[in-house]
């Protein structure tokens, strides 16, 4: 029995890596916005969901015309990134900025606004999809070429679409790292995150930089939505909630405000969850089944807040964004 | 023509009038000092000039155009830079990066350049980096370029704040107590730096300073504030003999001979 479980381990870890990539991509959006505004943008889970829905629509309308599944997936990723990025920027412009301009220092107000935006978007998408296609559940169509398996050592095997997920996530994270560390925009984002009033005295327009931060975080969230759809096929307008809250946990796990923390936290959380989902049943002699895996993320969140509230990579005075 | 014309500027916080109907004008090429006791409204005046606070009355003209009411970033882009009494560097960035942030409005390229790494972008970055090195050299910080700003010693942090302000290529530089916490040698160097800014770079300097030796030696003109009001203005020599100034600094009765 235990030998069989051990043999499973590499495959489980690979599965965890895939899930972790999705969490990390979503977590980046939470952590970047937190970095510049100190706001937990709970509407980000819906930015992710809208990305997944945009992906479904690309498959629905462009699928019949595009032969190559990789080109189709890339189209879905790019279009979802644009739509989700634009949506995130729109949310900031319409919902958060007016509150900020009013100069309220109460941090609950934007937080509750974020939750409201989240509900609003869930039902708006449900309404639109209901009227447009009469659908609640939406599917990313299966493609034989994308699902083709490659054998790896140690009894692992990997599908083409999984390779795509890892490649996209790695490229996006490297690109983000380059952007934040090397470019003029990245330096401005870090400056605003560290000290907004001083950044503005350097001729940096904080509103513009905050908008760009939402754009980048939203685009990553939209890409994560398509990756999620590719991996798990079926989505619906409420699909954002659980991955969203887990990605938020991942961001806190890594140290909120720290982009490398979000990447690490996502991978760690994805791995733990997949391990739990596989082994919990056996370890508890069948008392706890696979359905309890979701609880693991939140147990981790509770333990973390108790023992290391600054997160894995967070320092009390750590670098934000 | 005055570079900066402050007209009847007023700033209130609730019932407190922090800056009260203050007027003065700074000529191009001057080193112009604001002095006054603690709480006289000097820093509030700086914050109002740089757009961090909105004035409640009066106006500010800069090169004959209205500055009051603009946002901090617009004012910075017009060529007004400042430093802070309590240092406000980007501590988690390197010294070099702090300077690059200061150059933000002067590094110009678009998304096309950024995505395709065009020669225009490379050129803009090269120029920005060269200029950053030049500024670090000028302020004697070259050997610390890649240290985190928060790890610099105090005096070096003060110099970095000036270097970062210079990165904006200001015509007018507002220095808020640059000599605070400096030892006598650093203070002497600071005087040289401020003079050089004016002489080599034709930067007009508006200075808040408590070290009287700095104010008296390098200022062309001095304004004295007390309780937000301007109580005196003149050359350093004139100002130091005005009874109201001595009274503001030392208290009422300071001029009366002890019995």
Give backbone dihedrals phi and psi of B190, rounded to 5 degrees, phi first.
-60, -40
pLDDT digits (tens, 9 = 90+) for B181-201: 888 999 999 999 999 999 999
pLDDT digits (tens, 9 = 90+) for B59-94: 999 999 999 889 999 999 999 999 999 999 999 999
Averaged over B195-210, what is the pLDDT?
A: 94
Q: Are A45 and A265 contacting, i.e. CB atoms less than 8 angstroms apart? A: no
Q: Which two tokens stand for residue B200?
A: 């080599």
Q: Which two tokens stand for residue B48?
A: 């109002």
Place of tokens 């909105």: B54
Query: Which of B51, B91, B104 is most worth mutating to test chain A (most A CB atoms within 10 A of its CB)?
Result: B104
Taking the whole predicted model, whether its pTM rises above 0.80 is answered as: yes
pLDDT digits (tens, 9 = 90+) for A116-167: 999 999 999 999 999 999 889 999 988 888 888 888 887 788 999 999 999 9
Number of structural domains found in chain A: 1
**Which residues of A sit within 8 Å Cβ distance of B?**
183-185, 187-188, 190-191, 194-195, 197-206, 317-320
Nearest chain A CA: its distance from B77 CA (Å)? 5
Query: Does any domain span residue A79?
Result: yes
- In DSSP terms, B9 is beta-bridged to B22
Query: Does any domain span residue A314?
Result: no
Give the residue extent of every domain in chain B: 1-79+170-259, 89-169
CB contact under 8 A, A190 and B88: no
Query: Does any domain span residue A275?
Result: yes
- State the number of CA atoms in the 13 A half-sphere of A195 facing the CB: 15
Averaged over A87-105, what is the pLDDT?
A: 90
CB contact under 8 A, B104 and A202: yes
Q: Is B251 on the interface with A (CB under 8 A)?
A: no
pLDDT for B116 equals 74
pLDDT above 80: residue B252: no
Chain B residues lying within 8 Å of A186, measured CB to CB? none
ipTM for the assembly: 0.87
Give backbone dihedrals phi and psi of B258, rounded to 5 degrees, phi first.
-65, 140
Domain interval for residue A249: 2-307
Chain B residues lying within 8 Å of A188, measured CB to CB? 101, 104
Pairing of strands A138-139, A234-235: antiparallel
Query: Does any domain span residue A316?
Result: no
Query: Does any domain span residue A293?
Result: yes
Q: Can you say whether residue A256 is alpha, beta or left, with left for phi > 0 and alpha for psi between -120 and 50 degrees?
A: beta
Chain B segment 66-105 residues within 8 A of A by beta carbon are 71-73, 76-77, 81-82, 84, 88, 90-93, 97, 100-102, 104-105
Query: Does any domain span residue A292?
Result: yes
Identify the CATH class of B1-79+170-259: alpha beta
CB contact under 8 A, A195 and B93: no
Give the CATH number for residue A94. Answer: 1.10.3470
């Amino acid at each position: 029995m235990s030998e069989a479980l051990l043999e499973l381990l590499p495959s489980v870890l690979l599965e965890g890596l895939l899930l972790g990539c999705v969490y990390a991509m979503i977590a980046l959006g939470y952590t970047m916005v937190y970095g510049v505004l100190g706001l937990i943008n709970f509407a980000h889970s819906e930015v992710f969901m809208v990305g997944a829905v945009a992906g479904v629509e690309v498959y629905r309308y462009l699928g019949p015309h595009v032969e190559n599944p990789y080109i189709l997936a890339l189209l879905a990723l790019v279009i979802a990134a644009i739509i989700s990025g634009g949506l995130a920027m729109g949310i900031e412009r319409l919902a958060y900025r007016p509150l900020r301009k009013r100069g309220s220092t109460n941090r609950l107000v934007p937080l509750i606004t974020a939750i409201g935006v989240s509900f609003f978007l869930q039902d708006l998408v449900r309404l639109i999809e209901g009227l447009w296609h009469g659908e609640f559940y939406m599917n990313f169509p299966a493609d034989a070429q994308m699902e083709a398996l490659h054998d790896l050592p140690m009894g692992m095997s990997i599908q083409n679409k999984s390779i795509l997920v890892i490649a996209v996530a790695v490229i996006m994270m490297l690109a983000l790292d380059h952007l934040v560390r090397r470019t003029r925009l990245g330096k401005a984002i870090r400056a605003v995150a560290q000290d907004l009033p001083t950044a503005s005295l350097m001729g940096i327009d904080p509103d513009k930089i905050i908008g760009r931060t939402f754009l980048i975080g939203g685009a990553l969230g939209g890409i994560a939505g398509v990756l999620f759809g590719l991996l798990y096929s079926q989505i619906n307008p409420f699909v954002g909630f659980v991955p969203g809250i887990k990605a938020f946990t991942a961001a806190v796990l890594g140290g909120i405000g720290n982009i490398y923390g979000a990447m690490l936290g996502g991978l760690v959380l994805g791995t733990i969850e997949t391990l739990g989902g596989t082994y919990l049943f056996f370890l508890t002699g069948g008392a706890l089944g696979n359905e309890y895996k979701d609880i693991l993320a939140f147990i981790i969140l509770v333990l973390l807040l108790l023992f290391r509230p600054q997160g894995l990579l967070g320092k009390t005075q750590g670098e934000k964004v | 023509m005055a570079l900066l014309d402050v007209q009847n500027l007023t700033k209130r916080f609730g019932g407190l009038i922090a800056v009260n109907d203050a007027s003065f004008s700074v000529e191009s090429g001057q080193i112009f000092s604001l002095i006054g006791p603690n709480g006289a409204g000097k820093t509030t005046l700086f914050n109002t000039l740089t757009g961090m606070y909105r004035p409640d009355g009066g106006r500010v003209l800069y090169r004959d155009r209205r500055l009051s009411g603009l946002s901090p970033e617009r004012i910075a882009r017009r060529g007004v830079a400042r430093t802070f009494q309590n240092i406000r560097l980007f501590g988690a960035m390197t010294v070099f990066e702090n300077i690059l942030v200061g150059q933000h409005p002067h590094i110009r390229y678009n998304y096309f350049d950024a995505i395709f790494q065009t020669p225009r972008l490379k050129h803009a970055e090269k120029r920005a980096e060269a200029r950053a090195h030049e500024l670090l050299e000028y302020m004697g910080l070259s050997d610390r370029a890649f240290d985190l700003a928060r790890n610099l010693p105090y005096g070096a942090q003060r110099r970095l704040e000036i270097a970062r302000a210079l990165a904006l290529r200001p015509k007018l530089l507002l220095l808020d107590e640059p000599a605070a916490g400096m030892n006598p040698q650093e203070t002497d160097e600071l005087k040289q730096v401020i003079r050089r800014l004016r002489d080599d770079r034709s930067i007009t300097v508006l200075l808040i300073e408590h070290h009287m030796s700095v104010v008296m030696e390098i200022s062309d003109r001095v304004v004295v504030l007390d309780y937000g009001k301007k109580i005196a203005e003149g050359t350093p020599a004139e100002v130091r003999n005005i009874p109201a100034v001595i009274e503001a600094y030392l208290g009422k009765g300071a001029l009366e001979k002890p019995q």
